[in-house]
Amino acid sequence: MKKYSILICLIIVVLSIFALGFHTKTNEEPNLFYQVYLDDELLGTIKSKDKLLRMIDKQGTYIKNKYKTKQVLAPNGLEIKKVVTYKDKLDSPEEIYKKIEDKKPFTIPGYRLTLKDGDKTNKIYVTNKGIIDNALKSTVKTFVGEEAYQAYQDGTQEKITTTGSEIENIYIQTHMTIKKMNIPVTNRIFIEESELSKYLLYGDNTTDSKYTVQLGDTIEQVAYKNKISPEEFLIYNPQFTSRSNLLFPGQVVTIGMIDPKVQVVVESKVVKDVETKFKTEERYDADRLVGDDEVIQKGENGLVRTTQRVFYMNGSLVSAETQATEELKPTINAIIVRGEKEIPSVGSGAWYWPVNSYSFLRGIEYWVDPDDGVRKAHTGIDIADNCGKPIYAGNNGVVVQATSYYPNGIFVTINHNNGYYSLYAHMSRFVVSVGQVVSKGQIIGYVGQTGQAYGCHLHYEIFTGGLSYYSRNFLDARNFY
């Protein structure tokens, strides 16, 4: 009887365990939760995805006010994945928020403007795409001019009848891409058009200074004294419309340097009348004594109408291609008969204009090189002429350099043995050698585009002080004619 009682009890216990176990398994349900990852690192598990996102947005009130945005978003790299689990231990949204905040900055919706110029890449972040469009347009207007830009856009430019200029094309040469993205708030983010416009033009150069005009100062001289280009002077002093505007002693002007982040190119058709200076032909008479000179024909300047396609980059004229010429008045050369037929090695008398063109591009001034963005001194004058045209010696002398190196390209230097030197750069080739005595007006080479040149032209220098670059005193060659 006792054995039966024990067996019955065992059966009851087993059935109870089985019943309880079966009941637990059939009534346990899996949970739908969310696992939060940041850059593939698991931060924890939460019950509500929306609650975490609302918390991120709510806690970003300061960010919303600062960047004038309606939404603050999770950091880049944050992922919230659904997970079905029997796990019932959860993290609170507050705990996960704190972990995110400690590890990575939050983001706001916006755009990234990427500027690529050669090896240089500049990334700019904005809250609105319209800011980019308007800031770029403002930068273009700064270099082109408000009225000229509007006339070009509207097709209302004044047509050229005799002389004048007409813009044919305006474009930004810098490669640009715009991408919509979530921007980390630790980045520099532009929210105003004016703020971005200023950066595109000046970079981080926010300082300027004042200069008091001295007696005899010109805009070009003031710019050179202060190591800026004439175009920079005009940008900082918009009351002046041209580098030829007059200054008066005591006048206070602003000096500042631009650091443009884009390259604005303007292609224009320019028709102008250019005075062609007469040359002086020298004839030698062995029967005349040295110094017994006679002018047998007076020289008269001519007039030529030229049609050119010119290229400006950020307001600076960088090249000009002559497309047509029309002689309006012929040039009459002066003829002087000098005693002694032998070519002297010492320069004297009138200087000979080095090329047949009188299209002036640039003088002695500072400019920002569009190739590398470096501020450089331009130490001579640039005269536009077509490649292959002859280059003449400016005066009698001895060739002391006939070689090639960057940035001059192929060039020749002449010592005139009277304290002056002259240099002719960017040649396609030269036809003289070191030690050779040359006479003024003698062909020494041909116009080219070698070295750092943006188009066919002659870079012409006259200087004193010797061949060492650091001892040279550069002179404006135009003053010798």
Residue spans per domain, the chain: 31-104, 111-202, 210-257, 263-480
Specify whether the CB–CB gap between 384 and 455 falls below 8 A.
yes
Q: How far is CA 402 from CA 382, 387, 412, 425, 433, in A?
A: 19, 19, 4, 10, 6
Query: Quick one: pLDDT at residue 20?
Result: 46
φ/ψ of 288, rounded to 5, equals -95, 145
The closest alpha carbon to 421, from 411, 431, 430, belongs to 411
Query: Where in 76-138 does DSSP place strands (E)?
Result: 78-85, 107-117, 120-126
Query: What's the CATH number for 210-257?
Result: 3.10.350.10
Taking only the tens of pLDDT, the chain with its 481 residues reads 445 555 555 555 555 544 444 444 444 678 889 999 999 999 999 999 999 999 888 888 889 999 999 999 999 999 999 998 877 789 999 999 999 989 999 999 999 999 998 888 999 999 999 999 999 999 999 999 999 999 999 999 999 999 999 999 999 999 999 999 999 999 999 999 999 999 999 998 878 899 999 999 999 999 999 999 998 999 999 999 899 999 999 999 999 999 999 999 999 999 999 999 999 998 888 887 667 789 999 999 999 999 999 999 999 888 999 999 999 999 999 999 988 767 788 988 899 999 999 999 999 999 888 778 889 899 999 999 999 999 999 999 999 999 999 999 999 999 999 999 999 999 999 999 999 999 999 999 999 999 999 899 999 999 999 999 999 999 999 999 8
Q: What is the pLDDT of residue 288?
A: 78
User: What architecture (CATH level 2) is domain 263-480?
Assistant: Distorted Sandwich (2.70)
Which is nearest to 247 in space by CA: 207, 283, 216? 216
- The pTM (predicted TM-score) of the whole model is 0.73
Which pLDDT value is given to residue 463?
A: 97
Residue 412: its pLDDT value, please? Answer: 98
* Burial label, 232 (beta-carbon count in 10 A; 0-12, 13-18, 19+): buried
Contact assessment for residue 284 and residue 336, using Cβ atoms and an 8 Å cutoff: no
Domain 210-257 matches domain 263-480 at the CATH topology level: no
Query: Which pLDDT does position 265 carry in this prediction?
Result: 96
Angle at 421 between CA 293 and CA 403, to 5 degrees: 120
Go through the chain and tell me how many residues it has. 481
Which residue's structure tokens are 């054995």? Answer: 3
Residues whose CB is less than 8 angstroms from the CB of residue 352 and which lie 6 or more positions away in sequence, other chains included: 279, 280, 392, 393, 394, 395, 440, 441
3-state secondary structure of 189: strand
Helix-strand-coil split of the chain, %, nearest 5: 25, 40, 35
Distance of CA 28 to the CA centre of its chain: 69
pLDDT for 340 equals 79
pLDDT computed for residue 23 by the predictor: 44
- DSSP structural state of residue 91: -
In whole angstroms, give the CA distance from residue 410 to residue 382: 15
